[in-house]
Chain A
Amino acid sequence: MSISFQKFQTRSQSYLGEPSLFLQELCHLASLLNAVALSTLRCGEDVFSPLIEYDENDDIFEWPSTDGSDLLADRTILSSVVNAFSYWLWLHKRTTDGESLPLDIIGGVSQEEIDMLQKARGGSAKVNLCWFWLIEFITREHLAGSTGSVSPPIISRIHQCLSDGNVGYNSARKIAFIPFPFPHAQVSLLALILLMVAVPFLVLEYTDQDISSWFGTCLTFAIIEVLFGLHEVARELESPFENVPNHLPLRVLQAQFNQSLFQLFSGFHPNSFWNTDEFIYGDDVYGDRVYISEKED
């Protein structure tokens, strides 16, 4: 699974050539783990969420929208007006963040990985499988010497971080899987409907109907608007992985995670390592590759 990293030669001047296969595999597994975790958060238990290979081409790269506006297939004015009216009249469907849209994975997903992930039933098993792949890979490579002579107690920090990340995932999964308690939601909605009927009579009792009715009308409207607004805010917030556009932007988070992973092998520290790119690759200078010989001196 070789990944093309052409853009990093232009983005990071200190980057040379293709990164090591170790780093490629590491970033692929981490990206896969994060994507599977996010997709299990935004979907149900057995809904397959599409995962595709991340396209590293800079020309077509753009961040996903945070409010799901890029999910709309039809972006005409008419469609937006229809969308707004349907939202206004409670006719819209509560959707998740691009459930049908793929999450980008560095290096793509192989057919074997897909098969294994489909065999794992439930979101927890899928994520745990990917987590196991990553931690097994790191451990195996460490034992083979890929992490140099760094001592095992220090290496255990890696495992500690992976474990902490798993705790974070399960915290998010708790929110995604367990809804707001039904009895409370039922009572609050029932109370609001009671108020919706009771408030007009209350206003009728305590406003002067002989002079005019506009004040009572406005007062009724304002009271119910505020109370139902508060209720609707609660409904939007209680499921953070649903309710586009008030959801948590998982696709943006995945894109940010991928970009962060890319930086792991985009170059050495510019003030510390040899700045060797200019005489190894002549591409930026002369438009051609420069070869180095030892005939000098």
Chain B
Amino acid sequence: MIIYGNIQSIFSVDVILRIVGGAAYKAVLPAFLSVIIYLIGRNYVNHMPKTYEDNLMKHPNALGALISGISFILIFRANHSYGRYWEAAQALYKMMSKWLDACSLTSAFHYQSESYSRIKPPTFFDNPKVNFQDGLRRRRQLGQEDLIDFNAATDAWMRSNTLPRDQSYNRLSNDEMEENRSSGYSNEHNWTLNRTNMEKFRRTLAVSSNNTVSINDAASEKRNCILVEEKRRVQKQKRRSSGDDESSSIRRLSMFSRRPHSSDDEANSCNNGDDNSIYSSETEEDNIEDNESYFDQMPSPYRNDIGRYAFHVHGIEGIYGLGQLDGGISGK
């Protein structure tokens, strides 16, 4: 299969000049043979007619029958050869697409096996809170708000459990640090967010000085909620260090809740002070209550929310489990 026409040339000269693979140059040889016959006949065979009666053929119709027959044979063969070519290509693509279909189906079904129950997302069907979380918007559109808790928890966990190898990586700029201090949050440790896209978000933010959220600015809202999450975490550590024993075992940070819900009022603070906030405080409290009530009724794989996925697992094999689960091959 020759790919042609990609090179920009005048009148497609590259198409004309290609020898290997083309039929035009191969036909030159028999054409030359025919020309030689013609020249021999012209120079050495004296048949030039003097009168009409001397003509070899009185009329070209005598050759017309031969020409039409040969044309039919040639065109028929070319047509069928073209048909064979396309039929082969068609059959090849049908073969490969069907076999690939079979493999895709098998893979999709395989991910529904019990081995993957730990990392499956909550289903829309079994979790009405997910399904009707915010009207009938798609989950992808919900992601900007829903993933806040998950990301914040992830970041908080990473900051508290790992030592960053590169302190300058993903670090807040001085202006942003100052902005955090002016907003009342004392930065007690390095800001090393582990999500690379956080940095992208942060650089494109336009956060006002009083740290409020403007409407339709999901990115800034996300960032502010991370700030709130960070505040809560630090304050929690402070309470612990001061001996204040809090009974909450696992922070309920899940994508089932729209906001970081907590018993204190910190969760609502990221929307306070902004009249254009898309959340009102009443609905926020309602949501929290709904979350609390619904949360206990959740099926067990999701009851412990993010903790099940992030905090309860050791190591790579544990968290993802593919190394252990081996998909039924060992009969587990």
Q: A residues engaging B (CB < 8 A)? A: 16-23, 25-27, 30, 33-34, 37-38, 41, 66-67, 83-84, 87-90, 134, 138, 141-142, 144-150, 154-155, 157-159, 161-162, 164-172, 174-176, 180, 184-185, 187-188, 191-192, 194-206, 209-210, 213, 216-217, 220-241, 245-250, 253, 256-257, 260-261, 264-265, 268, 271-276, 278-282, 284-297
Contacts and interface: CB of A to CB of B under 8 A. Distances in A.
B143 interface: yes
Given A148-B112, A197-B37, A297-B307, A23 B314 contact: no
Given A161-B105, A234-B74, A279-B154, A169 B91 contact: yes
A1 B121 CA distance: 30
Contact of B27 (A27, A89, A224, A273): A224
B329 A253 contact: no
B316 interface: yes
Interface in B11-32: 19-21, 23-32
Given A34-B99, A172-B88, A225-B24, A217 B35 contact: yes
B322 A278 contact: no
B133 to A, nearest CB: 14
Given A168-B92, A238-B84, 17 more contacts: A20-B325, A147-B112, A158-B109, A161-B99, A184-B77, A194-B70, A213-B39, A224-B34, A229-B24, A236-B23, A237-B84, A237-B85, A238-B77, A246-B21, A272-B139, A276-B309, A291-B314
Nearest to B92: A172
B73 A168 contact: no
Interface string B183-199: 00000000000111000
- Would you call the interface of chain B mostly helix, strand, loop, or mixed? helix
B84 A147 contact: no
Contact of A198 (B66, B139, B318, B325): B66
Contact of A149 (B75, B112, B326): B112
Contacts of A188: 70, 73-74, 77
A165 B95 contact: yes
Nearest to B82: A237
B323 A278 contact: no
A216 B88 CA distance: 42
Interface stretch (B53-61, B217-225, B277-285): B53-61
Contacts of B70: 188, 191-192, 194-195, 227
B132 to A, nearest CB: 17
Contacts of A83: 20
A241 B196 CA distance: 49
A148 B25 CA distance: 60
Contacts of B96: 34, 165, 168, 253, 256-257
Interface size class of B (residues with CB under 8 A): 35 or more
B201 to A, nearest CB: 14
B20 A187 contact: no
B88 to A, nearest CB: 4
Given A192-B70, A209-B48, A238-B84, A30 B194 contact: no
B69 interface: yes
Interface centre among B97, B105, B307 (most CB of A within 10 A): B105
A158 B106 contact: yes
Contacts of B315: 291-292
B37 A30 contact: no
Contacts of B238: none
29 contacts: A16-B320, A17-B316, A18-B323, A20-B110, A22-B110, A26-B107, A30-B102, A34-B96, A34-B99, A41-B92, A84-B19, A87-B20, A87-B21, A138-B106, A148-B113, A171-B88, A196-B37, A200-B34, A203-B38, A220-B34, A220-B37, A228-B31, A237-B78, A238-B81, A240-B89, A241-B88, A248-B85, A272-B121, A297-B249
A217 B20 contact: no
A271 B312 CA distance: 23
A158 B99 CA distance: 9
Contacts of A180: 77, 80-81, 84
A202 B60 contact: yes
Nearest to A72: B20
Nearest to A171: B91
Nearest to A252: B1
B99 A30 contact: yes
Nearest to A87: B20
A225 B31 contact: yes
A216 B48 CA distance: 14
A20 B322 contact: yes
A147 B3 contact: no
B84 A276 contact: no
B137 interface: no
Contacts of B87: 171, 175
A286 B311 contact: no
A297 to B, nearest CB: 6
A264 B315 CA distance: 25
A145 B328 contact: yes
A27 B99 CA distance: 11
Contacts of B85: 237-238, 240, 248
Contacts of A261: 100, 103
B301 to A, nearest CB: 12
A17 B89 contact: no
Contacts of B101: 161, 165
Interface string B127-139: 0000000000001
Contacts of A271: 139-140, 143
